[in-house]
Amino acid sequence: MYEVKTTPDFDRDMKELDQPVADRIIEKIEWLADHPELLKHPLKHMPQNLKGLQKYKVGNYRVLLWADRNNKMLTLYGVEHRRKVYKKL
Domains parsed from the chain with CATH numbers: 3-88 (3.30.2310.20)
Percent of the chain with pLDDT strictly greater than 70 = 96
If one compares 26 and 86, the residue with the highest pLDDT of the two is: 26
* Extended beta strands in 1-89, E state: 3-6, 54-58, 61-68, 73-81
Average pLDDT estimate for 25-44: 90
Angle at 27 between CA 39 and CA 18, to 5 degrees: 115
**In contact, 64 and 81? CB cutoff 8 Å:** no
Looking at residue 47, its pLDDT comes to 81
Phi, psi dihedral angles at 28 (to 5 degrees): -65, -40
In 3D space, the residue among 54, 49, 48 whose CA is nearest the CA of residue 76 turns out to be 54
